[in-house]
């Protein structure tokens, strides 16, 4: 029997995940509070541009994807509840947890009144220690239940690139599952082995490592981009030096790889700068001045 899945927050990550799961026949309930967004999605129009998404959306709603604003329905009926709301940057570089905290409190209040014991899965990008120190205590406080008994709690970051979100969801390079309860980790492993028939590495670890893997991943990509841009600056001062030829050559070294080695105007998109800033901010909070990452920025 396929697990019933709810996805809370139908942005770039949530909607991509929802349509791909639906394509694989999982019953999916997509939840959002934005009525305008819900109306658009119900008409098979993605509320943002992402290649292939509209086609997938049309097929998904024919199959097993339902769209709603009813969180109650999700918490009472689904086995897995993925939280994919945004965690925007504050001016300090830290991330703002207000949306995800609101969702967690709402889920907690519904959990208190239901016998259902879903696994609550944090897919939104959250700074290290957030899952265990901030989100889980809120969930336990408002549900009056504990992790492992009244519900499950897992950290499961995403690694999507804007512009290839559907492909990256269908064929991720890795799945990271962070948790402390063996039975819930086992359930997540089983779920992902049903979603991905191929041998995609599933990393099983604790919440903290799962959070850090996401930040390490994006900060390293930002580092590669900053490195090649520094090299481009050197080449500009040398007649006959061509950074593209150099980048192409070092990219052939399998230890380096050719992705993210295009010299250009620094790194953009919404994730790399946001995650780099958040990691720098977090480092200073735990008493480590991260001069290297500050230079990358």
Beta bridge partners, 31, equal: 8, 68
The kind and range of the H/E element at 122 are: strand 119-122
State the catalytic residue, choosing from 13, 31, 225, 271.
Answer: 271
18's tokens = 């929802």
* Closest alpha carbon to 87 in 260, 270, 225, 226: 270
Say how far apart CA 244 and CA 250 lie, in whole Å: 10
Q: Are 211 and 133 in contact (CB under 8 A)?
A: no
78 in catalytic set: no
* Closest alpha carbon to 107 in 156, 134, 144: 144
> What torsion, rounded to 10 degrees, do the Cα atoms 272, 276, 282, 284 define?
-170
DSSP state of 23: H
Q: Exposed, middle or buried: residue 82 (CB in 10 Å: 0-12, 13-18, 19+)?
A: buried
| DSSP three-state, residue 237 | coil
Residues with active-site annotation: 271
């Amino acid at each position: 029997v396929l697990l019933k899945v709810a996805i809370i927050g139908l942005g770039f990550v949530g909607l991509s995940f929802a349509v791909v799961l639906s394509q694989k026949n999982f019953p999916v309930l997509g939840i959002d509070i934005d009525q305008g967004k819900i109306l658009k999605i119900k008409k098979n129009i993605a509320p943002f541009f992402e290649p292939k998404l509209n086609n997938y959306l049309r097929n998904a709603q024919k199959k097993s994807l339902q769209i709603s604003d009813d969180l109650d329905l999700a918490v009472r009926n689904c086995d897995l509840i993925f939280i994919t709301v945004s965690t925007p940057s504050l001016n300090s570089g830290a991330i703002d947890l207000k949306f995800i905290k609101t969702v967690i409190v709402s889920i907690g209040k519904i959990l208190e009144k239901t016998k259902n014991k879903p696994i609550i899965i944090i897919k939104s990008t959250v700074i290290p220690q957030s899952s265990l120190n901030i989100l889980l205590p809120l969930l336990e406080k408002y549900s009056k239940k504990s992790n492992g008994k009244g519900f499950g709690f897992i950290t499961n970051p995403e690694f999507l690139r804007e512009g290839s979100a559907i492909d990256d969801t269908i064929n991720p390079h890795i799945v990271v599952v962070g948790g402390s309860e063996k039975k819930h980790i086992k359930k997540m492993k089983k779920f992902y082995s049903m979603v991905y028939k191929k041998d995609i590495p599933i990393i099983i670890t604790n919440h903290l490592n799962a959070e850090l893997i996401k930040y390490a991943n994006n900060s390293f990509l930002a580092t590669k981009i900053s490195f090649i841009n520094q090299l481009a600056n050197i080449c500009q001062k040398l007649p006959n030096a061509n950074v593209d030829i150099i980048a192409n050559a070092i990219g052939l070294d399998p230890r380096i790889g050719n992705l993210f080695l295009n010299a250009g105007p620094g790194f953009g998109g919404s994730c790399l700068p946001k995650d780099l800033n958040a990691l720098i901010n977090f480092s200073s909070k735990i008493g480590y001045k991260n001069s290297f990452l500050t230079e990358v920025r």
